[in-house]
Amino acid sequence: MLCIPACAPRHPADDLTISTKVKIELLADPTLGALRLDVSTLNGVVTLSGTVPSPPDAARAVAAAKRAPGVRDVKSALKIQQ
């Protein structure tokens, strides 16, 4: 079976690089930078977790993550602060 590079799993170092770029995007945002959000990446799919003050902040975090180079998709496991 022959697999072209597009269907091959990414190297974990690529995912680490993507996670780092997403964290940089989050830290650069004046609203999100102060929040402690966790970022994990698997095959270019980023999962955000942690707690944000409001739904607009959650949407802002997802948008920031999508701006990072190499991100294929973003899944949100963010919780809204009560």
37-82 pLDDT, tens digit per residue, is 999 999 999 999 999 999 999 999 999 999 999 999 999 999 999 8
8-37 pLDDT, tens digit per residue, is 555 666 999 999 999 999 999 999 988 999
Q: If pLDDT is split at 50, 70 and 90, which confidence band does 6 have?
A: low
48-59 pLDDT, tens digit per residue, is 999 999 999 999
Domain hosting 66: range is: 14-30+37-80
Sheet containing 45-52: which strands, arranged edge to edge?
Answer: 38-42, 45-52, 73-80
User: What's the total number of domains in the chain?
Assistant: 1
Tokens 């690529």, residue? 14
CA-to-CA distance for 51 and 11, rounded, in angstroms? Answer: 29
pLDDT of residue 34: 86
Give the CATH number, domain containing residue 50.
3.30.1340
Residue 9 falls within a domain, yes or no? Answer: no
Tokens 């999508």, residue? 66
Parallel/antiparallel/unpaired status of strands 73-80 and 38-42: unpaired
Find how far residue 58's CA is from the centre of its chain: 12
pTM of the model: 0.83
Side chain identity at residue 53, one-letter code: P
